[in-house]
Amino acid sequence: MHNPKDIKNFSEKSVEPLRFDVSGNLIRKFGRESISNKNVAILELIKNSYDAKATKIEIDFSSVNTKEGMIAVSDNGDGMDYSDLKNKWMRIANPFKSKKSKNGDRIFIGEKGIGRLSAESLARTATLFSLPKGAYTEYKIIFDWEKYQDENALISDIGNPTFEFKKKKGDHGIRIEMKDLNHDWNNAETQTSLLTDINLLNPLNKPMRDFRIATKFEPSLVVVPKIKKEFLNKAVYSLKTKLTGGTLIRYEFSSINKKKKEGNLQTTRKLKCGDAVFELFFFYKSPKYFEQAIGKEMSQVESREISKMLDYYSGIKLYRDNFRVKPYGDANSDWIGLDIAAHNNSMYPRNDALIGMVHISKSKNSSIVDTTTREGVIFSDEFQDLITFVQVSIHKIFTDLRSEFESHKTKARKKKLPKGGKTHIVSIPSPGTKIIVPPVVNLVEIGGKYPENFYNQLQDEINICYEHNHPNAAFFLCRKMVENLVFNILEKKFPSRVDLWYDQKYKIRHKFSILIKNLYDERSNFNKPNVKTYIEKFNTEVGLFRKEANTKAHNVFEYLCDKKELNKFKIKDLVQLLVKIFDNI
């Protein structure tokens, strides 16, 4: 091993400095291997046109099915002159845009300096036509990406044939023709998915001024319904929350009935993300549920339209400076964890019943940055807290107000959110904790104030087993709960009569059936009103449970197949009776 101390200064001599060279392969690393999602590749080209101040961009897929197979993208932006081509287009990972934040009144969307390599990701060759604004010359460059695959090729050794022509001064923009395509676009599914992604590139309720994306597709192949911002008015409930300074959440909630609620919440800890806005539009697809909730009729036609639009556009999407960051909100990306929550609690909206948008900006959320693949952002504390903000908006605001508005349907729940005006405190879980939504359909309800702290945990375990269809596990845990409650009652009521709850000979607690019998035999000693009747009722009702709890625990052949089978044991009633007895000692 070389030891730096050994260097003898007198023998040091400067030689030609070594420089990095880059193999031609880099093009593929940043092209096909990074921007591997074909929709993302097209969207990158659209974003480049926006950055170049184009007012119109055209995505032409009409020749994908021809023998040659071509995708053409053209815009009427600023274009590039020879020097721009040389210093910007031909310089990979150029940080030029990140130095400047705006082009005129447009905030730059690109920043990594590799989006143009989408042209490599999509096809084997690309021809770029560039018509610089205000000039009389236009350029054409032909890229044959295969040349870069040559083992010995250095990136700067490869010449891409370049030509210049005369053009009219008024013409400007670029056109990229990509031929010999890398993907099979010739089916309805891929084209539909792309068209939907294009329609979702900017927020539905904020149509971009002066930026129109035109698409030319095979009309017989793709029919994606266009969505207008007016569609959002059909939402049964809409919520808008605004996070400021990491601690203040302002909300506005309204229903299709024009009922409104607004107010402020103060968080118990500062969220690490920058200012953000969340919008949620919740729909009922079925006329029956719509009517139950709102008391108005919904026509079949309307219901069909809502279902159709949600098929294409539902989910919570993330937008930065009004441009979508994929894949958040795609069909299989439940980044907010809503579907699990909705599974546990019917007041939670499922992803397929809502259109949601989270808006952030590069200036306020500079720590939330894209990965090189453009599929998602780099996971950070800031991003985690952005998720928390959305979860809190749904968990503490949406579900509460929805249940309040639908209280006629769900048996009035306590109003948790204050009336408008005042600021209230909302507790925020520490970073990384998942918000666990308690199940609504509970098998047992203990009430949360029991002496042995394991009761609450046991109750949660029972209810989770029940909710997730594990009836045998729920059943045995219920026996543990009932048995312990009877034991605790006897012990609390008769602390000195140990024989009632403890077998002194064998030094163990009495068996379940003896505990039940002792409780029943001693019922006259419980003097508070009604307690004696509770014990009598418990004694009658516990019969079946006691019997089966024993046989099912000890007999290998007995098994509960269905959680409905649990209903016959009236476990909830049994627990509630015991809780009342315990409370009245």
Ligand X SMILES: Nc1ncnc2c1ncn2[C@@H]1O[C@H](COP(=O)(O)OP(=O)(O)O)[C@@H](O)[C@H]1O
Output the smallest distance, CB 377 to Mg ion, in A.
16
User: 112 vs 510, which CB is nearer to ligand X?
Assistant: 112
Locus of tokens 């439940």: 334
Q: Which amino acid is at 102?
A: K
Amino acid at 140: K
- Closest approach, Cβ 75 to ligand X, in A, equals 5
Element (H, E) at 583: helix 571-583
Of these partners, Mg ion, ligand X, none, which one is at the site of residue 337 (CB under 5 to 8 Å by kind)? none
Work out what residue 77 binds among ligand X, Mg ion, none; the CB cut-off runs from 5 to 8 Å by kind.
ligand X
Smallest distance from ligand X to CB 114, Å: 5
CA-closest candidate to residue 126, choices 54, 171, 174: 174
Q: Count of residues for the chain?
A: 585
Q: Are 482 and 496 in contact (CB under 8 A)?
A: no
Instruction: Restricting to residues 338-397, name those near ligand X by CB under 6 A.
Output: none
Q: Which among Mg ion, ligand X, none contacts residue 352 (Cβ within 5 to 8 A by kind)?
A: none
244, 233 in Cβ contact below 8 A? no
What, of Mg ion, ligand X, none, does residue 96 touch, CB below 5 to 8 Å by kind? ligand X
List alpha helices for 212-299, DSSP H: 287-294
Interface residues with Mg ion (CB under 5 A) are 48, 110, 115
**89 contact, one of ligand X, Mg ion, none, CB 5-8 Å limit per kind:** ligand X
Return the residues of window 79-108 that contact ligand X according to CB under 6 A. 79-80, 88-89, 96-97
CA atoms within a 13 Å half-sphere pointing along the CA-CB vector of 330: 17
| Cβ contact 459:447 at 8 Å | no
For Mg ion, give the closer residue by CB, 115 or 203.
Answer: 115
* Residue 496: both structure tokens together: 């000195």
Q: Is residue 52 a contact residue for ligand X (CB under 6 A)?
A: yes
List the single partner that 239 binds among Mg ion, ligand X, none, CB under 5 to 8 Å by kind: none
Are the beta carbons of 403 and 347 closer than 8 angstroms? Answer: yes
Which one of residues 58, 75, 177, 385 is an interface residue with ligand X (CB under 6 A)? Answer: 75
If the CB atoms of residues 115 and 132 are measured against Mg ion, the closer one turns out to be 115
Question: Would you give the binding string for ligand X spanning residues 165-184, x where CB under 6 A is met?
Answer: ---------x----------
Q: Which of 34, 39, 49, 215 is close enough to bind ligand X by CB under 6 A? A: 49
Q: How far is the CB of 350 from Mg ion (least distance, A)?
A: 35
Of 47, 67, 59, 83, the closest CA to residue 176 belongs to 59
Query: Most distant CA pair in the chain: distance in Å?
Result: 109
Whether 375 contacts 40, CB under 8 Å: yes
Q: Which residue's CB is nearer to Mg ion, number 44 or number 334?
A: 44
* CB distance 109 to 363 below 8 Å: no
- Provide the sign of the torsion angle of the four alpha carbons 301, 303, 308, 309, taken in this order: positive
**Cβ 319 to ligand X, closest distance in Å?**
18
DSSP 374-390: SSSB---HHHHHHHHHH
Taking the complex as a whole, how short is the minimal distance between the CB of residue 432 and ligand X, in angstroms? 32
Cβ neighbours, 10 Å, residue 91 = 12
- DSSP H or E stretch at residue 558: none
* Contact partner, 111, from ligand X, Mg ion, none, Cβ < 5-8 Å per class: ligand X
Q: How far is the CB of 348 from Mg ion (least distance, A)?
A: 37
Considering only the stretches 5-13, 78-86, 502-510, 562-570, report the one whose residues sit in contact with ligand X under the rule CB under 6 A.
78-86
User: Which of residues 89 and 520 has its CB atom nearest to ligand X in the complex?
Assistant: 89
Q: x/- site string to ligand X, residues 105 to 124, per CB under 6 A?
A: -----xxxxxxx--------
Q: How far is the CB of 87 from ligand X (least distance, A)?
A: 9
Among 24, 31, 69, 77, binds ligand X (CB under 6 A): 77
Is residue 581 within 8 A of residue 489, CB to CB? The reply is yes
Q: Please, which residue, 92 or 248, has the CB nearer to Mg ion?
A: 92
Query: Which of Mg ion, ligand X, none sits in contact with 203, Cβ below 5 to 8 A by type?
Result: none
Quick one: 71 or 256, whose CB is closer to ligand X? 71
Give the one entry of Mg ion, ligand X, none that residue 49 binds, where binding means its C-beta sits below a cut-off of 5 to 8 angstroms depending on kind: ligand X
User: Segment 501-520, which members bind ligand X (CB under 6 A)?
Assistant: none
CB of 60 to ligand X, least distance (A): 15
Q: What is the residue whose two structure tokens read 């509970």?
A: 442
Separation between Cα atoms, residue 277 and residue 272, nearest integer Å = 15
Cis peptide leading into residue 327 (ω within 30°)? yes
**Segment interacting with ligand X (CB under 6 A) among 46-54, 195-203, 293-301, 425-433:** 46-54
Report which DSSP code applies to 273: S
- CB nearer to Mg ion: give 101 or 268: 101
With b for 16 or more beta-carbon neighbours within 10 A and e for fewer, the 250-282 pattern comes to ebbbbbbeeeebebbbebeeebbbbbbbbbbbb
CB of 109 or CB of 342, closer to Mg ion: 109
Which range in 14-22, 45-53, 259-267, 489-497 contacts ligand X by CB under 6 A? 45-53
Using the contact rule CB under 6 A, the part of the chain among 49-57, 307-315, 330-338, 536-544 near ligand X is 49-57
CB of 137 to ligand X, least distance (A): 15
**CA atoms of 29 and 10, how far apart (whole Å):** 44
Instruction: Give min distance, CB of 47 to Mg ion, in A.
Output: 5
Quick count: other Cβ atoms within 10 Å of Cβ 526? 19
Residues 6+ apart with CB under 8 A from 351: 314, 315, 316, 329, 334, 338, 339
Residues that bind ligand X (CB under 6 A): 48-49, 51-52, 75, 77-80, 88-89, 96-97, 110-116, 174
